[in-house]
Amino acid sequence: MRIYGIDHVALNVRDMERAMSFYSKTLGLQISARENQKPGIEYFLDCGGSLIGLIQAKEDEPEHFFQNTGVGANHFSFRIHSADFDATIEKLKEAGVPILFSKKREKSWSLYFCDPDGNKLEMTAWPAEDEGSGL
């Protein structure tokens, strides 16, 4: 078996319009031409070579988020260029997105925040890898 990377991450969302606004306007992801869309029910957004799927949850379904504790998913991370790291923090703040944690470590830089449904997300930069990478 050979895995080439992450194909997609899918999230169930409470309010599709709110989620699409966050992921497209705030984060800048675009609806993908690679996958079929089901307007109002399911969208796939381009995220580099991967996709983010947004699926409309039913009102009576229980909530389960990417969170810090407990067994299950903790978070997923978007890759950004280190040159964009500080501007990304400012853009999220301007959009009213609370920053949970940010740190520039020796090898990787991390920025944590939540989407409108409470799913924990991260932006990660790898400065040494960005140098001369063309990203």
| pTM of the predicted structure, to 2 decimals | 0.86
> 29 and 71 share a domain?
no
pLDDT of 63: 80
DSSP annotation of 50? E
Q: Quick one: 20 and 31 in the same domain? A: yes
* Whether residues 88 and 132 fall in one domain: yes
68 and 132 assigned to the same domain: yes
Q: Are residues 29 and 13 in the same domain?
A: yes
Residues 39 and 73 in one domain: no
Query: Which residues are registered as beta bridge partners of 47?
Result: 50
Which tens digit of pLDDT belongs to each residue from 2-26?
877 888 999 999 999 999 999 999 9
Last residue of a domain, one of 13, 46, 61: 61
**What amino acid occupies position 37?**
Q
Check whether residue 107 and residue 55 sit in a common domain.
no
* Structural domain boundaries enclosing 106: 64-135
DSSP 116: T
Q: Which portions of the chain are predicted below pLDDT 50?
A: none
Neighbouring CB atoms inside 10 A of 13's CB total 21
Q: What is the DSSP letter of 126?
A: -
76/50 same-domain check:
no
Angle at 122 between CA 121 and CA 127, to 5 degrees: 165
